[in-house]
Structure 1
Amino acid sequence: MISLSVETLAADATEPITSAGNAQLGVAVIAGIAVIVLLITRFRVHAFLALTIGSLALGAFAGAPLDKTIAGFTAGLGATVAGVGVLIALGAILGKLLADSGGADQIVDTILAKAGGRAMPWAMVLIASVIGLPLFFEVGIVLLIPVVLLVAKRGHYSLMRIGIPALAGLSVMHGLIPPHPGPLVAIDAIGANLGVTLALGVVVAVPTVIIAGPVFSRYAARWVDIQAPDRMIPTRPSEDLERRPGFGATVATVLLPVVLMLAKALVDIVVDNPDNALQRVMDVIGSPLIALLAAVFVAMFTLGRAAGFTKERISTTVEKSLAPIAGILLIVGAGGGFKQTLIDVGVGRMILDFSKDWSVPALLLGWLIAVAIRLATGSATVATISAAGLVAPLAVGMSTTHASLLVLAIGAGSLFFSHVNDAGFWLVKEYFGMSIGQTIKTWSVMETIISVCGIGFVMLLSLVL
């Protein structure tokens, strides 16, 4: 498995770019977020510009040098786009090929025929959970979006009734289940057993995803009753198609990157030897970039050519797929820049300083610290790493089971209330065509339900195990 020590991560962290005290940093965080929200909601400023201005305002209120604030924001934007930008682009190409070839229609028609009515949200959460097991949240989003939007549109469902279960499945897998990076780092820091953590994670994840997904989607659909945005819906293929790809070939193409990444994760766990030839090959083949790239090229044949597309039409389809995501990339990147500014001014360390004097049970302490860092920085991974490093000494002498439960408590806390400093918030907002208020009522509340249910089930297990 991939092993990352907290000491290594801490050594890589830079010193805060300001000497401001905790009180000033707290005011700066509130002011920076307020600037972003006001610019977008009151003055209708584009989210990319609002996040940029809000980051500069945060640095100014924290007393950070302007040049370092700009450098930090730029670095955060670049790192976020580098991390997810290419994946979003490849996902958009795959989605466009899926739509134009008729493959998405084939999947949607089959799903609607097999799981209509009340069963649809349950089908979506099951599909998302399976796909999300080996994938980063962002990768799962770009793979599922075409199907989610088309199912909502063609089945005449509220977007929230279909979208929330899919998002819940992806998010729960990301925060609680190894081999995702956050849980892996926490397992390594605390010295927990990977197998036990995985087993208990599934026990916690199943009821959590049911409550946050199909159950909560009923209320989310009432609070925010919107339809799939036309600008993001894959267009129905024209009627001049010679034929349509088969259901099996279409599903196999969509699941190809999932299978490759899951295979990599299994090899990492079973082999656990960086010098092993098989593991080195799978580390390449199973990386998100290569897995999605392979799926795109396979889709050109299994979807494009199967539908009778010429080489020119496939090229045109790829070109047209990229234009709609330009705005999303900029907004998601700016969200990453704002997150990095928060980290650079020392907000994460401020939270750690406050938490040193908290006198609460270890499991609840790990959750609370992760919640505080998540709220301040917007990063689930940063919250997991920081909280695991702080509470690791408390794991000494813990049973194997309770050490694993501590990992899950931290993972649950890292998902609490995603808001404007989280790139995922903007990703969901833009893909689903929601306002900030609507995104908070649905996505942010869903994340909070996952977090609270997660720690609740962890505490219950701690009483019986």
Structure 2
Amino acid sequence: MTSLSVEMLAADPVEPITSAGHAQLGIAVLAGIAVIVLLITKFKVHAFLALTIGSLALGAFAGAPLDKAIASFTTGLGSTVAGVGVLIALGAILGKLLADSGGADQIVDTILAKAGKSGGRAMPWAMVLIASVIGLPLFFEVGIVLLIPVVLMVAKRGNYSLMRIGIPALAGLSVMHGLIPPHPGPLVAIDAVKANLGVTLALGVLVAIPTVIIAGPLFSKVAARWVDVAPPEKMIPQRPSEDLEKRPGFGVTVATVLLPVVMMLAKALVDIVVDDPDATVQRVFDVVGSPLIALLAAVLVGMFTLGRAAGFTKERLSTTVEKSLAPIAGVLMIVGAGGGFKQTLIDVGVGQMILDFSEDWSIPALLLAWLIAVAIRLATGSATVATISAAGLVAPLAADMSTSHAALLVLAIGAGSLFFSHVNDAGFWLVKEYFGLDVGQTVKTWSVMETIISVVALGFVLLLSLVL
């Protein structure tokens, strides 16, 4: 589930790096994934090395020349780190500023005071609401790095189950990413099938609300019984080591965290209202609302509203930034290697193989769209790749559809694109590392949650298709 697939999808499709047939490609995919899982689970190989070896094994089984397989992996790793790595780093800096200044404490203490009055029962609902609002204009990765410090601190400080708090937050982010414009997948799918953006947004919210409730607060009860882990100490923003004379207020702290959200939402609104790539105002907001600029602005503003407000000197600010980057080095490399594996899958022609198989399927359009998106999601790991590929394939089916059914076609594709995130998805590794889980625990929580979102959303889409 990565935001950097947008540019990749805009490019013309490239020739596969192998001439392997469908049977050989299918075996290669299974073999590549099996190598990764075995290396991590049985031989305890670090995930970065396992993903690297698994990518090369995939290329070898698919009959790709070794130099081209290496090039595919390094290209995918590089583009993932370039697109996601900087955002993770900026998010880590902002999180450290929040923690060291006492701003994160202020947020957590306020949330605990409000939701804690219910004996903790309202906490999962509070987390899913916060994640859904923040996740509306944000790429999934950005939402994760902004929310994780709060999730971990609430779980630790309030002595809550990490899964009981974390799953609702992840569900809120994921549902927004897959179903609701202005996320890139839904937007491009809307364009591909010529759906109405306003109708799609309205129906998307209608589907998203019950879906996020079922996959978030309700499923988190089960997930907490399946996986009982403590928040990883290395990822928890610590209370300031020394007593601060003062700490930022709740309002200014929340405003600082929401600054990138507002900037990106403003860009999305301008894109919708102006709808002219050559217009000056849209070009300005394309820059202002880019994730890089938005998060960078939040970090710079946070140095004053958080750091200086807590009495930090210039040297202390510099030290805070430096210390924020060390813990995320491992996460960054694992996520990058996941991107390399995904790119290798795409370059050997797995996505095209799935599209070829799907051409002869004779089933209802909404279910067909969902199944195609599911197959591409499982093969490539990218929700956005799955959304765009499936939308392009089923777009002719929308020609005779009503406005509401064309919108439901977009939502069916989006739902399929979220199905069962596993080892070839960068989001899988982000969740695993941030929450301190092993591969099996990540599958039982994150992967199952994604599957629930996908299936439940499809159910509501099909239900709406009967009444609209």
- Partner Cα separation in structure 1 for residue 249 and residue 38 of structure 2: 49
Specify the alignment match of 1:407 in structure 2: 410
1:194 and 2:197 correspond: yes
Once the two structures are superposed, what CA deviation does each residue of 1:132-152 show, in whole Å capped at 9, x if it has no partner? 000000000000011000000
Aligned to 1:422: 425
Given that 2:80 and 2:335 are in contact with CA atoms closer than 8 Å, whether structure 1 keeps it comes out as: yes
Q: Where do 4+ consecutive residues of structure 1 move more than 6 Å?
A: none
Q: Letter of the aligned partner of 2:91 in structure 1?
A: G
Shift of 1:434: 0.1
The amino acid that maps onto 2:190 is: I
Deviations 1:198-222 (A, max 9, x none): 0000000000000000000000000
**How far apart are 1:244 and its partner, in Å?**
0.7
1:231 deviation in Å? 0.8
Please give the residue correspondences for 1:317-396 in structure 2 after superposition, counting only pairs within 5 Å: 317-396=320-399
Amino acid at match of 1:328: V
Q: Which residue in 1 is equivalent to 2:142?
A: 139
Native 8 Å contact 2:260 2:295 kept in 1: yes
What is the distance in 2 between the residues matched to 1:49 and 1:330? Answer: 10
Deviations 1:164-220 (A, max 9, x none): 000000000000000100001110110100000000000000000000000000000
Amino acid corresponding to residue 362 of structure 1 in structure 2: A
1:441 has 2:421 as partner: no
* Aligned partner of residue 12 in structure 1, secondary structure: coil
Q: Match of 2:3? A: none
Deviation at 1:385?
A: 0.9
How much does 1:11 deviate? Answer: 5.7
Residue 396 of structure 1 aligns to a residue in which SS?
Answer: helix
User: SS of the counterpart of 2:237?
Assistant: coil
Alpha-carbon distance in structure 1 between the residues aligned to 2:275 and 2:389: 25
Alignment-derived partner of residue 48 in structure 1: 48
* 1:275, distance to aligned residue in structure 2 (A): 2.1
Provide the rounded CA distance (Å) in 2 between the counterparts of 1:143 and 1:126. 15
Kept after mapping to 2: 8 A contact 1:157/1:227: no
Q: How does 1:12-23 map to 2 (within 5 A)?
A: 12-23=12-23
Partner of 1:25: 25
Q: Is residue 331–residue 430 contact of structure 2 (8 Å, CA) maintained in 1?
A: yes
Q: Does 2:242 correspond to 1:232?
A: no
CA distance in 2, matches of 1:160, 1:277: 45
1:200-253 Cα offsets, whole Å, 9 max, x none, are 000000000000000000000000011110010001112331211111010000
In structure 2, runs of 5+ residues without a counterpart are 1-5
Instruction: For 2:351 and 2:31, locate their aligned partners in 1 and report how far apart those are by CA, in whole Å.
Output: 17
Matched residue SS, 1:309: coil
RMSD of aligned alpha carbons: 1.0
- Residue equivalent to 2:72: 72
Question: TM-score if structure 1 supplies the norm length?
Answer: 0.98
Quote how far apart the aligned CAs of 1:29 are.
Answer: 0.4
Aligned to 1:3: none
Contact 1:209 1:450 in 2 (8 A): yes
Match of residue 272, structure 2, among 244, 269, 272: 269
Aligned to 1:211: 214
Question: What secondary structure does 1:389 align onto?
Answer: helix
Partner of 1:154: 157
Q: What is the Cα deviation at residue 277 of structure 1? A: 1.9
CA deviation vs aligned residue, 1:43-86 (integer Å, no higher than 9, x gap): 11000000000000000000000000000000000010111000
Question: What secondary structure does 1:178 align onto?
Answer: coil
Q: C-alpha separation between the residues in 2 aligned to 1:128 and 1:237? A: 25
Structure 1 residue 12 displacement after superposition: 1.6
In structure 2, what is the equivalent of residue 85 of structure 1? Answer: 85
Residue type of the partner of 1:170?
A: L
Aligned to 1:292: 295
Residue aligned with 2:357, SS: helix
The amino acid that maps onto 2:195 is A
Q: Which residue of 2 aligns with 1:100?
A: 100
Opposite residue 211 of structure 2, the aligned amino acid is T
AA paired with 1:97? Answer: L
State the one-letter code of the partner of 2:170. L
Could you give the per-residue CA deviations for residues 94-131 of structure 1, whole angstroms, max 9, x where no partner exists? 00000000000000000000012100000000000000
Deviations 1:307-344 (A, max 9, x none): 11111000000000000000000000000000000000
Question: What secondary structure, in the 3-state scheme, does the structure 1 residue paired with 2:442 have?
Answer: helix
CA drift at 1:9: 4.4
Structure 1 residue 10 displacement after superposition:
7.3
State which drifts further: 271-280 or 304-313. 271-280
Aligned counterparts of 1:10 and 1:355: Cα–Cα separation in 2 = 22
What 5-or-longer segments of structure 1 have no aligned partner?
1-5
Determine the structure 1 residue equivalent to 2:166: 163
Give the stretch that moved more between structures: 132-141 or 236-245.
236-245
Name 1:280's counterpart in structure 2: 283
Q: Helix, strand or coil for the counterpart of 1:169?
A: helix
Amino acid at match of 1:74: T
Distance, in Å, in 1 between the alignment partners of 2:157 and 2:380 is 38
8 A contact 2:9–2:385 mirrored in 1:
no
More displaced, 51-60 or 8-17? Answer: 8-17
* Equivalent in 182, 186, 189 of residue 183 of structure 1: 186
Q: Percent identity, please.
A: 88
Number of residue pairs the alignment of both structures matches = 459
Per-residue deviation at 1:381? 0.8
User: Quick one: which amino acid aligns to residue 285 of structure 1?
Assistant: V
TM (norm. structure 2) is 0.97
